[in-house]
Amino acid sequence: MSSSHIEPLTLSGHPDHMGDSLSKLRKYVTEVSNIAGLESQAMHRLRLAVDEIAANIIMYGYAGTESPGVINVLTTVVDGQLTLVLEDTGVPYDPRQRDLPDNFDDPLETREIGGLGVFLAFENVDKFDYQRVGNCNRNIFVMNCP
Amino acid sequence: MAFDASLEMVNTIAKVTLVGELDASVAGLFKEKIEEAAQQHAQRLVLIMPNLEYMSSAGLRVLVFAKQKMGPQVGIYVVGAQPQIVEPIKQTGFHYSVTMMDEYDAAVIEAL
C-alpha cells in the first residue's frame, strides 16, 4: 500500500470570512492535487467540486447559527486515490438528498438556479459520499490518480 | 487572484471584463455590473474572460439573472474563456443559451 501524508487544513466557517476561506481552500486543493499527481483538468474539477460544497456549508450550514464553527479539510492519497473530506458542524445536510436540475436544454431565462452547485460537485469527482458522524457532516470527494 | 469586474458601454453593447477568481463570495460584484448594464438598456452582453481563472456556480447564477433582468432578446457572448471555465458552462447546458467565442468577433456581436 502506498500513501502520502498531507497536512490537514482548518478554515473559518463564518460567512464574513467566506472569501478568505474559499480562496485558501482552492489553493490547498491545487497543492494536494499536485502531490497526488492529478492532471490539470482533474485538479480544476476537484477544485470546483470542493469549492461548491464548502460555499454551501458556509452560506447554509453555518448561516444563522450563533457561532459558526470551522471546516476541517482532511486529505489522504492511498493506492492511487485522492480522498478529500470536508468536516463541519453546521446543520445536518446530505447533498445527495437534494433535487438536482435536469432542464439543461431550457433557455436561461426559465432556468431554476437551485442545485447547480451540488450538481457540479457530483459531476466533477470520480466519487462523492456523505456521512453524518455525531454532530459532524462529512462530505467526501474521491479522485482516481493517473 | 482577487476578483474584479468592470463594465464598459459601447453604444448598446455592454462589455463586462472579468478577472481573477469568481466564487460565491464575490458574485455580487458581477451582479452589480449586470444591473448597471440593464439600467443602461444594453442590447448585448459581452463577457470578456481570458483573465478569469475560476468560476463557480455563483457565476452561472448571475448569467441566469442577466437573462431574466435584461430580457431573453439580449444576446450573451462569452469571449476567451479558459477550459476550466468552459467545462462547467457546458456541463450545465448554459452553452445552449450563450454564444461562445475564442476572440471578440465584431462582425457577429455588432451586427444589427
Integer Cα distance of B16 and A139 in angstroms = 35
Binary contact (A23, B21; C-beta < 8 A): yes
C-alpha cell at A121: 460537485
Integer Cα distance of B80 and A26 in angstroms = 22
pLDDT at A74 over 60: yes
Q: For residue B4, which residues of chain A lie inside 8 Å, CB to CB?
A: none
Q: For residue B87, which residues of chain A lie inside 8 Å, CB to CB?
A: 41, 44-45
Residues in Cβ contact with A94 at an 8 Å cutoff, skipping those fewer than 6 apart: A130, A132, A137
pTM above 0.90, yes or no: yes
Binary contact (A108, B26; C-beta < 8 A): no
How do residues B44-75 score in pLDDT, each as one tens digit? 999 999 999 999 999 999 999 999 999 999 99
Residues in Cβ contact with A40 at an 8 Å cutoff, skipping those fewer than 6 apart: none
How do residues B1-43 score in pLDDT, each as one tens digit? 799 999 999 999 999 999 999 999 999 999 999 999 999 999 9
Average pLDDT over residues A124-130: 98
A22 to chain B, any CB pair closer than 8 A? The answer is yes
Q: For residue B64, which residues of chain A lie inside 8 Å, CB to CB?
A: 108-109, 111, 113
Pairing assessment for the beta strands A127-133 and A136-144 based on DSSP bridges:
antiparallel
CB atoms within 10 A of CB B51: 13
Integer Cα distance of B85 and A69 in angstroms = 31
pLDDT band at residue B99 under the 50/70/90 scheme: very high
Give the CA count within 13 Å in the CB-facing half-sphere of A57.
31
Q: How far is A14 from chain B (nearest CA, A)?
A: 12
Give the CA count within 13 Å in the CB-facing half-sphere of A125.
28
Binary contact (A101, B92; C-beta < 8 A): yes
Choose among A84, A73, A62, A48: nearest CA to A17.
A62
Binary contact (A55, B60; C-beta < 8 A): no
Average pLDDT over residues A85-110: 92
Residues in Cβ contact with A132 at an 8 Å cutoff, skipping those fewer than 6 apart: A92, A94, A138
Please name the member of B26, B88, B94 whose beta carbon is closest to the beta carbon of A108: B94
Average pLDDT over residues A88-111: 91
How do residues A33-64 score in pLDDT, each as one tens digit? 999 999 999 999 999 999 999 999 999 999 87
Q: For residue B56, which residues of chain A lie inside 8 Å, CB to CB?
A: 48, 51-52, 55, 117, 120
Integer Cα distance of A49 and A131 in angstroms = 17
Q: For residue A107, which residues of chain B lie inside 8 Å, CB to CB?
A: 67, 72, 96-97
Please report the pLDDT score of residue A90 as a whole number.
Answer: 94
Q: How far is A7 from chain B (nearest CA, A)?
A: 23
pLDDT at A3 over 90: no
Which chain B residue has the Cα nearest residue A59? Answer: B24
Chosen for mutation from A11, A60, A111, A125 (greatest number of chain B CBs closer than 10 Å) is: A111
Binary contact (B94, A48; C-beta < 8 A): no
Across chain B, the runs of DSSP E, i.e. the strands, are 4-10, 13-22, 44-48, 52-55, 75-79, 99-101
pLDDT band at residue A73 under the 50/70/90 scheme: very high
Q: What are phi and psi of B4, to 5 degrees?
A: -145, 145
pLDDT band at residue B112 under the 50/70/90 scheme: low
Calculate what percentage of chain A has a pLDDT beyond 90.
80
Please report the pLDDT score of residue A95 as a whole number.
Answer: 96
Q: Does the complex come out with an ipTM higher than 0.90? A: yes
Integer Cα distance of A57 and A29 in angstroms = 17
C-alpha cell at A16: 464574513
Mean pLDDT, chain A, whole residue set: 94
